[in-house]
Amino acid sequence: MAGEVWIIGASKGLGLAMAELFRRQGRSVVGFARRPPADRAAFAEFVGLDAADPDAFDATLHRLFAERPAPELIVYCAACVYQGPIVDQPERALRAEVEANYLGFVRLCQAVAAHKPAEARVRLVATGSTLGYVGCPSLDNYSACKAALISFARSARRELAAHGIAIQILSPPHMDNGGADLIGPRQFTLAWSAERFVRAAEGGVREHLLGASNRLVLVLARIAPGFTQRIMDGIGADALKRGARRMPA
């Protein structure tokens, strides 16, 4: 049977949908988040974890590697979102995004390298976003965190490969689970996104953005970056005009 899957950010949204999918495929799944979901049926174990707490993060991964067989795949899905004017974003919300959306994945890389058995091969998935490739007003800091995540994941690959760790970068499209409020990009269902994401993760795909319309944005960003930014500026300006707001949970 294929190895265990650990999902960080598994209490709701894409992480939970993927946990349920893996479970239906007969895989053992360990979930992580600050708060557990009401229904833990998809999980062999659900572990309380705050990606913003470096010591607790390290200690938790240390304990799990000592208690369980090394997982084959760890999906880092944790994220929080502030949406609204950047001039109003509180310091607390700026930091929460940097911690959950970027530094948590860096901490995961460090903890896995430090605590996994030397012979184990582990694949890590960094969950990106279209906004990590082309930033969007009203989600400025979120976009920048995802850009940092993608840049880090690309550059850390070489060093971590020597530790038996492979890094994949997979980005879901805009989904229908009440995340950022943007009018423009087509919304995809959680079920559609979870199925494609799991398939790409299992296939060892190095870097992939789900959704043909989102990939078109990436192609445009390469050949006409100014034009593509203007499209995102329009989408973000509309959100700001409508007063779209969301604070990190």
Ligand X SMILES: NC(=O)c1ccc[n+]([C@@H]2O[C@H](COP(=O)([O-])OP(=O)(O)OC[C@H]3O[C@@H](n4cnc5c(N)ncnc54)[C@H](OP(=O)(O)O)[C@@H]3O)[C@@H](O)[C@H]2O)c1
Binding site for ligand X (CB under 6 A): 9-15, 33-35, 49-52, 77-80, 99-100, 127, 129, 171-172, 174-175, 177, 179, 249
Please identify, using beta-carbon distances, which residue of 28 and 130 lies nearer to ligand X.
Answer: 130
Q: Taking the complex as a whole, how short is the minimal distance between the CB of residue 35 and ligand X, in angstroms?
A: 4
Q: Judge whether 199 and 155 are in contact, CB under 8 Å.
A: no
Structure tokens at 109: 């890389």
- Through-space distance between the first and last CA atoms of the chain, rounded to whole angstroms: 37
Token look-up 């208690």 returns 67
Q: Taking the complex as a whole, how short is the minimal distance between the CB of residue 51 and ligand X, in angstroms?
A: 4
Please identify, using beta-carbon distances, which residue of 131 and 160 lies nearer to ligand X.
Answer: 131
Q: Taking the complex as a whole, how short is the minimal distance between the CB of residue 1 and ligand X, in angstroms?
A: 26
HEC per residue, 179-221: CCCCCCCCCECHHHHHHHHHHHHHCCCCEEECCHHHHHHHHHH
Please identify, using beta-carbon distances, which residue of 122 and 145 lies nearer to ligand X.
Answer: 145
Please identify, using beta-carbon distances, which residue of 116 and 174 lies nearer to ligand X.
Answer: 174
Q: Taking the complex as a whole, how short is the minimal distance between the CB of residue 224 and ligand X, in angstroms?
A: 22
**What is the three-class DSSP state of 7?**
strand
Non-local (6+) Cβ contacts of 61 within 8 A are 108, 111, 112, 114, 115
Which residue, judged by CB position, is nearest to ligand X in the bound state? Answer: 13
Please identify, using beta-carbon distances, which residue of 163 and 215 lies nearer to ligand X.
Answer: 215
Calpha distance 61→41 (Å, rounded): 22
- Dihedral sign for Cα 138, 198, 222, 148, please: positive
Please identify, using beta-carbon distances, which residue of 163 and 229 lies nearer to ligand X.
Answer: 229
Q: Taking the complex as a whole, how short is the minimal distance between the CB of residue 58 and ligand X, in angstroms?
A: 14
Q: Taking the complex as a whole, how short is the minimal distance between the CB of residue 7 and ligand X, in angstroms?
A: 9
- Find, among 44, 58, 53, 205, the residue nearest to 126 by Cα: 205
Please identify, using beta-carbon distances, which residue of 161 and 216 lies nearer to ligand X.
Answer: 216
Q: Taking the complex as a whole, how short is the minimal distance between the CB of residue 34 and ligand X, in angstroms?
A: 3
Calpha distance 167→160 (Å, rounded): 8
Non-local (6+) Cβ contacts of 186 within 8 A are 173, 174, 211, 213
